[in-house]
Amino acid sequence: MKKTLVTAALAAVMAAGPALADLTFSSLSYRTGPYAANGIPFADGYADYFTLLNERDGGIGGEMTRMVECETGYNTEKGVECYEATKGEGVLVYQPLSTGITYQLIPKVTADSIPLHTMGYGRTSAKNGSVFRNVFNYPANYWDGASHAVTHILNENGGDIGGKTIALVYHNSAYGKEPIRTLEELAKKHGYNLTLLPVDHPGQEQKSQWLQIRRERPDYVLMWGWGVMNQVAIQEAANIRFPMENFIGIWWSASENDVLPAGDAAHGYKALAMHNVGDDYPVYADLKKYVVDAGKAAGAGDQLGTVLYNRGMYAAMLAAEAAKTAQGIHGTSAITPAMMRDGMEALVMTEEKMAGLGLPGFGPEFNVSCENHGGNGFGAVQQWDAEAGKWSLITDYYQSDQDVIQALIDEDSAAFAAEAGIEPGCN
């Protein structure tokens, strides 16, 4: 018995050899563990969009797409295992949906020349593509998000927030610490006071942080949370009767899973958005027809229209558009990871393009270049309506404070280049 098991495992490893002509995309998903509630809708949306492309259009540019899924459980060790297990299959782009795994993969993808797309997460200074040649983080990054939140607060206060207090409740990890530098710089510029309140993984225990908020009464609370931490924070905010419209989460603290447990008390909670919400888009008719009704939906097929499902779909759509761009540049439909990188670097998202895909007004317009792997830094604010049970955007897309952010990006990427011995350049 043991021998057959070993043989089966060996056969399995052998069978995972180089793939055929298909365009291979990987989904390093997490459908288990403390972050599963957020990992599942994203993975479903990501997979369903590629299924749609295969069923409706026959793939991308005539090439069928293939999805390799690997479960990471939001664990960096498993993430490395997944990367090594799948990279031999010719995966075009990695999207790990975890800042911790992103930091692991940045040196590895650079050595292996495979592009890495960290949409709205990961290492912010990867926006400087002349240093991070294989890493992309369009359409927006954490530092943009921090600036969006502060700008929103500025707009609400008529442009003057001097002397106000903003508290940041953050996941005590690389992810949560990302915005601190930007918020500190912005505090110097706008004169507000910043209070930092770290929450340890996984974030079920936040009593002391919210007690401090109750005592110090900051004017605004920002949150960089993920997974169960979001739900707990919103519940705790409701418990101390913190005004929800002064509580702003990053786009990762902005899903239905996060607000529903608190019920009516979550009404008015705000969060940032890098793409639109809801399922009122033509592409959903196609998704229903070709994917859901055909019984090909990923997972349980019950996540359509949720914020994170949309985000997974948006990530897949951007990857597919980059693949199309790459096919155009290189004049071949069977692209390699290196060609995919060129496509991502030349990606232009316009309103016409999105409307043509059945997603009019879904995300901000942006374009990518070698110097700028992070898009133009546009984002919006969404708000939760507990009675209607849905999110809606309450602002237009607006740009982050590029003066402050660009200086920080240049500084951090230069430090990385020096540390890793990279010669910045676009050739």
- Tell me which residues touch other proteins (CB under 8 A): 5-6, 8-9, 11-13, 15-16, 29, 31-32, 36, 40, 69-71, 73, 75-77, 80-81, 84-85, 87-88, 99-100, 103-104, 106-108, 110-111, 123-125, 172-175, 177-178, 180-181, 198, 200-201, 299, 412, 419-421
Closer to other proteins by Cβ: residue 108 or 296: 108
- What is the distance between the alpha carbons of residues 291 and 53, in angstroms, rounded to a whole number? 10
Q: Which is nearer to other proteins, 33 or 268 (CB)?
A: 33
Using the minimum distance from each CB to other proteins, give the nearer residue, 228 or 322: 228
Smallest gap from residue 82 Cβ to other proteins (A): 9
Give least dist CB 126 to other proteins, A: 12
Cβ partners under 8 Å of residue 403, min gap 6: none
- In 3D space, the residue among 160, 91, 107 whose CA is nearest the CA of residue 336 turns out to be 91
Cβ proximity to other proteins, 40 vs 52, nearer residue: 40
Q: State the DSSP code for 61.
A: T
Backbone angles phi, psi at 333, to 5 degrees: -90, -25
In angstroms, the CA 79 to CA 97 distance is 10
Q: C-beta of 244: minimal distance to other proteins in Å?
A: 29
Q: Residue 47 CB, nearest distance to other proteins (Å)?
A: 11
What does the alpha-carbon distance between residue 242 and residue 280 come to, in Å, rounded to a whole number?
32
Between CA 276 and CA 53 the distance in angstroms is 21
First vs last C-alpha separation in the chain: 55
DSSP 125: G
Query: Least distance (Å) from other proteins to the CB of residue 56?
Result: 23
Quote the least distance from Cβ 412 to other proteins, whole Å: 6
The type of residue at 339 is M
Nearest CB to other proteins, comparing residues 175 and 284? 175
Q: Which is nearer to other proteins, 173 or 195 (CB)?
A: 173
- Smallest separation, CB 172 to other proteins (Å): 6
Q: Among residues 134 and 235, whose Cβ is nearest to other proteins?
A: 134
Of 148, 120, 151, the residue nearest 136 (C-alpha): 120
Please state the closest distance from residue 233 (CB atom) to other proteins, in A.
Answer: 17
Query: With left for phi above 0 and alpha for psi between -120 and 50, is residue 73 left, alpha or beta?
Result: left
Matching residue, tokens 């918020």? 183
**Given the complex with other proteins, which of 77 and 351 has the nearer CB atom?**
77
Name the E strands within 340-419: 348-349, 366-367, 378-385, 390-393, 398-399
Nearer to other proteins by Cβ, of 35 and 314: the residue is 35
For residue 197, the minimal CB distance to other proteins (Å) is 13
Q: How far is the CB of 301 from other proteins (least distance, A)?
A: 13
Strands 65-71 and 23-29: parallel
* Nearest one of 373, 372, 351, 363 to 397, comparing CA atoms: 363
Q: Using the minimum distance from each CB to other proteins, give the nearer residue, 154 or 196.
A: 196
Name 253's Cβ contacts closer than 8 Å, sequence gap at least 6: 223, 224, 225, 226, 229, 230, 233, 271
Report helix, strand or coil for 189. helix
Q: What whole-number distance in Å separates Cα of residue 124 and Cα of residue 127?
A: 6
Mapped onto helix, strand or coil, the DSSP state of residue 359 is coil
